[in-house]
């Protein structure tokens, strides 16, 4: 497999085809946002309270969300080389970087009125630039290159692309801010001295923002049924950005209820993809945990996880009234079974035995693990020796009575040998001694004709104890 193919097969955030439930959630959220926008446009243009702290707090939140989103997407691009991550990340980075000069120039946040007409335009023009740049950075590139979702940058070029994107976004934000400020007196008037939006803005500029975001949303979500998670939530972000633009087109000015709703929609635009990425990271963490702790064939815990569970139980042993028991279980003559009937049927037998163990050692505190090959281990906390022996006998009988269907339609039974070791709360023992005792007892059971149980006499002394057959 080539290096590019290996990179393309790496786990990628937001790369899985979305489930119907997630698509339905996105549709519900989109519907609610549309409803809130329509309601705000109709009844939210009256004068509202002038909460000066609202914008700095809200802008800080959306800038943080945008920069975190950009960081996660660019990090994912660096790992997997998928170009769409870099381009979408650059869109979020630009909006996050432009927030600082936008907030600095906003009337009343840093500087108090009066302002000249040109100075009033600075923050709004910066808002216009990022609301146009975001959909253009995403929509145009997807429109020009429909295969963008699958394009992988070679490993040798990833560092250069990351450097170019970071440098380019910073340069764009600096240049855009400098141009707006330098030509503030000559730009088309957006905000009138009274704080209301101009007719030119409401008629041409704001509808242009809405149109650009809707087109980008349509391009990104061309096929919702096959949409990947990142596509789906970027589409929601673009729709929310369009709704924000629509509210500004109908708003009568700053600090109206509709203006406040628009700023919350900006925060939503910045946050939805971040929430998806954080959810996916949590999901990947869970998968990594499963890979590290779960046996893929049987779904039981593996040896690594068993060792961790055993260390925890041994630390709690002095507080357990009845002590802890270990059952070491081996399938009799399983290698011969595999040689005769094949490994596929052998795997079915292992899964069947796993189900029997789950049904027999069914307390929430019981731990069942595949120890390796055809060996299983059951940990029984808060269990007496006699109780552990009863569980072992139930397991032996249940496995023996579970029929195995052979390829010719006939049935065969599998038997087990089980070694039991038990530690009392006052015993000076360890996990190694307890496992060693169960292992010696298992070999005694196999040496006594198999399909039986043997119990270790003691797990306290490191000397070899002869197990007693029961």
When the pLDDT of each residue in the chain is averaged and rounded to a whole number, the result is 85
Let me know whether 356 and 287 are in one domain: no
Q: What pairing do the DSSP bridges indicate for beta strands 416-423 and 453-455?
A: parallel
Let me know whether 378 and 282 are in one domain: no
Let me know whether 205 and 311 are in one domain: no
Which among 452, 450, 470 is positioned nearest to 333, based on CA atoms?
450
For residue 26, pLDDT beyond 70 = yes
pLDDT of 97 reads 94
Average pLDDT over residues 192-216: 84
Q: Are 356 and 402 in contact (CB under 8 A)?
A: yes
Let me know whether 277 and 331 are in one domain: no
Q: What is the pLDDT of residues 244-283, one digit of tens each?
A: 988 877 877 778 888 899 889 989 998 999 998 888 888 8
With a pLDDT cut of 70, the percent of the chain lying above it is 90
Q: What is the pLDDT of residues 74-129, one digit of tens each?
A: 998 888 888 888 888 998 999 999 999 998 888 777 777 666 667 778 888 998 99
pLDDT of 4 reads 44
Let me know whether 145 and 268 are in one domain: yes
Which of these ranges, 258-272, 284-298, 452-466, has the smallest mean pLDDT? 452-466
Q: What is the pLDDT of residues 34-67, one digit of tens each?
A: 999 999 988 888 888 888 889 899 999 999 999 9
Q: Read off φ and ψ for residue 375, nearest 5 degrees.
A: -100, 140
pLDDT of 467 reads 42
pLDDT of 358 reads 94
pLDDT of 181 reads 92
Let me know whether 198 and 267 are in one domain: yes
Using DSSP's 3-state secondary structure scheme, residue 194 falls into: coil
For residue 469, pLDDT beyond 60 = no
| 3: confidence class by pLDDT, cuts 50, 70, 90 | very low
Q: What is the pLDDT of residues 306-354, one digit of tens each?
A: 988 888 888 888 888 888 999 999 999 998 888 888 989 999 999 999 9
- Is residue 297 included in any domain, yes or no? no
Who wins on pLDDT, 368 or 281?
Answer: 368
Task: Among 292, 316, 340, give the residue marking a domain's end.
Answer: 292
pLDDT of 398 reads 94
CA distance 191 to 123: 10
- Is residue 47 included in any domain, yes or no? yes
- Tokens linked to 442: 């298992």
CA distance 14 to 22: 12
Let me know whether 323 and 351 are in one domain: yes
- Is residue 298 included in any domain, yes or no? no
Let me know whether 346 and 256 are in one domain: no
For residue 462, pLDDT beyond 60 = no
Let me know whether 250 and 193 are in one domain: yes
CB atoms near residue 39 (< 10 Å): 13
Could you please report the per-residue DSSP string of 2-15? -HHHHHHTS--TT-
Task: Among 268, 292, 316, give the residue marking a domain's end.
Answer: 292
Which residues contact residue 179 at a Cβ distance below 8 angstroms, ignoring those fewer than 6 apart? none
CA distance 333 to 327: 19
Q: What pairing do the DSSP bridges indicate for beta strands 375-381 and 324-331?
A: antiparallel
Task: Among 247, 267, 292, give the residue marking a domain's end.
Answer: 292
Who wins on pLDDT, 33 or 464?
Answer: 33
- Is residue 255 included in any domain, yes or no? yes
For residue 468, pLDDT beyond 60 = no
Q: Are 293 and 91 in contact (CB under 8 A)?
A: no
For residue 22, pLDDT beyond 90 = no
Average pLDDT over residues 426-436: 86
- Residue appearing with tokens 């590290």: 292
Residue 288, CA distances (Å) to 16, 280, 282, 291 in order: 16, 12, 10, 5
Let me know whether 271 and 372 are in one domain: no
List the domain range (segments joined by +) for residue 223. Answer: 3-292
pTM (2 decimals)? Answer: 0.71
CATH of the domain at 35: 1.20.1070
- Tokens linked to 261: 């709703």
Which among 272, 254, 321 is positioned nearest to 92, based on CA atoms?
272
Report how many domains make up the chain. Answer: 2
Average pLDDT over residues 122-137: 88
- Is residue 388 included in any domain, yes or no? yes
């Amino acid at each position: 497999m080539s290096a590019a193919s290996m990179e393309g097969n790496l786990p990628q955030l937001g790369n899985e085809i979305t489930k119907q439930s997630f698509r339905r959630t996105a549709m519900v959220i989109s519907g609610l946002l549309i409803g809130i926008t329509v309601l705000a446009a109709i009844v939210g243009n009256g004068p509202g309270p002038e909460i000066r702290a609202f914008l700095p707090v809200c802008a800080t939140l959306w800038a943080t969300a945008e920069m975190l989103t950009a960081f996660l997407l660019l990090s994912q691009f660096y790992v997997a080389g998928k170009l769409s991550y870099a381009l979408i990340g650059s869109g979020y980075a630009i909006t996050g970087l432009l927030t600082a000069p936008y907030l600095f120039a906003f009337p009343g946040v840093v500087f108090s009125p009066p302002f000249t007409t040109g100075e009033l335009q600075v923050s709004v023009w910066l808002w216009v630039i990022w609301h146009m740049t975001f959909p253009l950075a995403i929509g145009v590139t997807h429109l020009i290159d429909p295969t963008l979702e699958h394009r992988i940058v070679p490993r040798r070029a990833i560092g250069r692309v990351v450097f170019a994107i970071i440098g380019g976004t910073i340069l764009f934000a600096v240049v855009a801010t400098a141009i707006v400020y330098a030509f503030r007196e000559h730009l088309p008037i957006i905000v009138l001295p009274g704080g209301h939006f101009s007719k030119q803005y409401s008629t041409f500029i704001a509808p242009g923002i809405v149109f650009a975001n809707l087109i980008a949303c349509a391009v990104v979500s061309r096929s919702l049924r096959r949409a990947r998670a990142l596509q789906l939530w970027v589409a929601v972000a673009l729709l929310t950005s369009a709704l924000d633009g629509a509210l500004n087109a109908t708003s009568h000015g700053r600090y109206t209820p509709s203006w406040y709703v628009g700023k919350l929609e900006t925060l939503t635009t910045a946050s939805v993809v971040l929430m998806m990425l954080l959810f996916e990271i949590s999901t990947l963490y869970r998968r990594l945990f499963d890979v590290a702790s779960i046996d893929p064939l049987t779904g039981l815990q593996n040896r690594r996880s068993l060792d961790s569970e055993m260390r925890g139980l041994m630390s709690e042993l002095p507080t357990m009234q009845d002590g802890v028991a270990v059952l070491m279980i081996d399938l009799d003559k399983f290698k011969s079974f595999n040689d005769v009937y094949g490994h596929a049927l052998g795997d079915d037998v292992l899964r069947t035995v796993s189900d029997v163990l789950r049904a027999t050692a069914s307390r929430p505190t019981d731990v069942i693990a595949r120890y390796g090959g055809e060996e299983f281990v059951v940990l029984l906390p808060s269990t007496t020796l006699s109780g552990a022996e009863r569980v072992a006998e139930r397991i032996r009988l249940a496995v023996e009575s579970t029929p195995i269907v052979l390829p010719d339609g006939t049935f065969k039974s599998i038997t087990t040998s089980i070694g039991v070791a038990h530690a009392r709360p006052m015993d000076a023992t360890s996990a190694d001694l307890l496992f060693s005792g169960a292992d010696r007892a298992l070999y005694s059971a196999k040496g006594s004709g198999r399909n039986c149980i043997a119990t270790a006499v003691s797990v306290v002394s490191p000397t070899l104890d002869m197990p007693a057959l029961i």
